[in-house]
Amino acid sequence: MKYTQTLIAAALATAVSGAAFAQDDVKVIGVSIPAATHGWAGGMNFHAKETVERLEEVYPGLDFVLATASDPGKQVNDIEDMVATRNIAALVVLPFESDPLTPPVQAVAESGAWVTVVDRGLSVEGIEDLYVAGDNSGFGKVSGEYMVSAMPDGGDIVVFRGIPTTIDNERVDAFTAAIEGSGINVLDMEHGNWNRDDSFTVMQDFLSKYPNIDAVWASDDDMAIGVLAAIEAAGRDDVQFVLGGAGMKEMIKRTADGDTMIPANVTYPPSMIATAIELTAVGLTSNAPVSGTFVIGSVLVTQENAMDFYYPDSPF
Amino acid sequence: MTVTTTPQTAWLRIPSMSVLGPIIALLVLLGIGAMLNSNFLSAANITNVLARSAFIGIIAVGMTFVITAGGLDLSVGSMAAFIAGLMILVMNAALPSMGIGIPIILLGMLTAIVAGLLAGLLNGFLITTLGIEAFIVTLGSMGIYRSLVTWLADGGTLSLDFGLRTFYRPVYFDGILGISWPIIVFALVVIVGEIIMSRSVYGRHCAATGSNEHVAHYSNVNVKRTRLISYAALGILVGIATIMYVPRLGSASASTGVLWELEAIAAVIIGGTVLKGGFGRVWGTVIGVLILSLIGNILNLTDFVSPYLNGAIQGVIIILAVILQRERKAVS
């Protein structure tokens, strides 16, 4: 009996010291993001991988585990696996959806790990140590202000919305507020779901429905590509320009080249994941305080500054 | 409930509700559309709707055969995205040596058709020779092709070389006598499909296989070959649909062809083909496809219904179509 107890005690001691040793030696940062199922997410995946590879060389004391999920359920599994098998010291998470991800991320925070939330907030406040986000209201506001400056005499526009989400609502509300009283009339709004095919179809229908459209707020570059193809196919010359968004490299290039149909862009950088991972690494390895909220502003891209936002290696 | 219907005889006597139902629904939709918007019946709008129906339509014709033979294919949407990606890669890679011209377009088309044939044969082989459930095999290949296209595109978008796209564009946007190519190809596929389904030995074999595999087997029908051919033909048709799709936007990404499989299956069922197999109708599938795309078109042309409800309205129509079919069975 005594012998067995000693054995268990010894085993426990070894396990505890082993775990402690692992924690002292290398800290693991878990990164959980949605899979690359559309352009922006593809860009985000690219920047996440690149940042992880770079930081593993910069910080020998840090180890990274990156998981991509195609739905919220898979993302919850990923996070549980990271906690169970990799003993993560910090979690950088871009939640697929706020509500289903809140409890598992809360559990990670309660276990004592550092939590960085990116882009989409959680449903309960105060869980995360650091919040890195794009400025959705700013995105809509900058877009709206550009429309007003580009159409000083007003005009008729159509608006493309993304997938029905709070992100989309924030952008559209801010856009609507920014063009209020400017003489710009929104003929119609429809969901293009941040998708080229859907936007092509919707734009074809808009062109059938309205004999004159002065401009389009496509609100995203994937949608802008579908919109442009529909305008080109219909041979209509009433549409003066299309304002996309999020800074796809092909569209930034066209703005830089002075394409009059794509005179501007508004950033919503997929590289914000890099900012989040980097700040988390700094927080774990130095005394620099990084907790709080870090909002990355949406910037207007025009022909003059377009090359500053051009990343030819990124898939987006 | 064992259902062994002989719809052909019912159809010869008086057109039953299952025959009339989809046609009436189509006419009602056309009426509503014309009432709500004066541009609805314009040549440009009708052309747009028909051309955009062509992808799902061409695939749905193949799906009619697969379902009639008692099978199912959930992988067609992902397969289309993968083939589109492959086609773009091959054409971009061949561009420096071949230059822009007809040969490189033909190479792209050949790639699409061969890839479609191989993908269809693979599904068919796993289902018929290894005897795995069609639902499981194609659910698996759906995931595989979707991942492959994401991987090929490195998470972003595969884009056809700009000059090449300009050259290839007419395949979607031009045509003969103002009728665009996708519509012409769709019509040809439908005519050939309808003849095979209703007049050929193969069509009867499909119906026999789907109706009762064992009886068909004892009646000297090669059940496995019939099914294998239906999957291979569907694969080729996915390739043909992709040939029409690529010149439209000149790109493929992970979001290409999402839910096409369900739209194709829905169109087949709305058109009166029995989901359990044994009876298929190609012209009905065409009406099913048109109903589905007209709903989207009409909802875009009016502000009558919230766009959030598009899916709900399509769902109601699908369920109604199946209810109409069941009534017919009860009567006959």
Q: Which of B37, B41, B42, B157 should we substitute to test contact with A (largest number of A Cβ atoms within 10 Å)?
A: B157
Q: Which residues of chain A are at the B interface, by a Cβ-Cβ cutoff of 8 Å?
A: 35-39, 41-43, 45-46, 164, 188, 190-191, 195-197, 200-202, 204-209, 222, 225-226, 229, 233-234, 250, 314-316
Give the residue-averaged pLDDT of A117-138: 87
**A159 shares a domain with A69:** no
**A275 shares a domain with A161:** no
Q: What is the CA radius of gyration of chain A?
A: 23
Rounded Cα distance, A96 and B17, in Å: 45
Chain centre distance of CA A230: 27
Q: How confident is the model at residue A290 (pLDDT cuts 50, 70, 90)?
A: confident
**A247 shares a domain with A152:** yes
CB-CB neighbors (< 8 A) of B253 in chain A: 38-39, 42, 196
Give domain status of residue B5, yes or no.
Answer: no
Looking at A250, A267, A284, the residue that finishes a domain is A267
Do the Cβ atoms of B171 and B181 come closer than 8 Å? yes
Domain count, chain A: 2
Domain that holds residue B272: 44-298+310-324
Closest-CA distance of chain A to residue B295, Å: 12
**A141 shares a domain with A252:** yes
Q: B270: which residues sit within 8 A by CB, 6+ positions away?
A: B22, B25, B284, B287, B288, B291, B292, B317, B318, B321
Q: In 3D, which of A263, A206, A198 has the Cα closest to residue A236?
A: A206
DSSP β-bridge partners for residue A160: A190
Domain count, chain B: 1
Give domain status of residue B173, yes or no.
Answer: yes
pLDDT of B115 > 90? The answer is yes
Do the Cβ atoms of A264 and A288 come closer than 8 Å? no
Give domain status of residue A315, yes or no.
Answer: no
Q: How confident is the model at residue B250 (pLDDT cuts 50, 70, 90)?
A: confident
Q: B110: which residues sit within 8 A by CB, 6+ positions away?
A: none
**A144 shares a domain with A229:** yes
The CATH number of whichever domain residue A213 belongs to comes to: 3.40.50.2300
CB-CB neighbors (< 8 A) of A250 in chain B: 159
Cross-chain Cβ contact B52/A188 below 8 Å: no
Give domain status of residue B174, yes or no.
Answer: yes
pLDDT of B326 > 80? The answer is no
Identify the pLDDT of residue A9: 53
Cross-chain Cβ contact A205/B300 below 8 Å: yes
Q: What is the pLDDT of residues A37-68, one digit of tens each?
A: 777 888 888 899 989 999 988 888 888 988 88
Give domain status of residue A36, yes or no.
Answer: yes
The CATH number of whichever domain residue B230 belongs to comes to: 1.10.3470
Rounded Cα distance, A306 and A258, in Å: 10
Identify the pLDDT of residue B43: 84
Q: How many CB atoms lie within 10 A of CB B235?
A: 28
Q: How many CB atoms lie within 10 A of CB B42?
A: 12
CB-CB neighbors (< 8 A) of B43 in chain A: none
Q: Is the dihedral of CA B150, A193, B308, B84 positive or negative?
A: negative
By the 10 Å C-beta count (0-12 exposed, 13-18 middle, 19+ buried), B79 is classed as buried
Q: How confident is the model at residue B328 (pLDDT cuts 50, 70, 90)?
A: low
Give the residue-averaged pLDDT of B61-75: 95
Closest-CA distance of chain B to residue A228, Å: 10
Give domain status of residue A14, yes or no.
Answer: no
Do the Cβ atoms of A107 and A267 come closer than 8 Å? no
Q: Which residues of chain B are at the A interface, by a Cβ-Cβ cutoff of 8 Å?
A: 37, 39-40, 42, 44-45, 48, 52, 150, 153-157, 159, 173, 248-249, 251, 253-256, 296-297, 300-301, 303, 307-308
- ipTM tops the 0.90 cut: no
Give domain status of residue A12, yes or no.
Answer: no
**A276 shares a domain with A261:** no
Give domain status of residue B290, yes or no.
Answer: yes
Q: What is the pLDDT of residues A164-207, one digit of tens each?
A: 777 888 899 999 999 998 889 999 998 888 888 889 999 999 99
Give domain status of residue B304, yes or no.
Answer: no
Domain that holds residue A165: 136-267
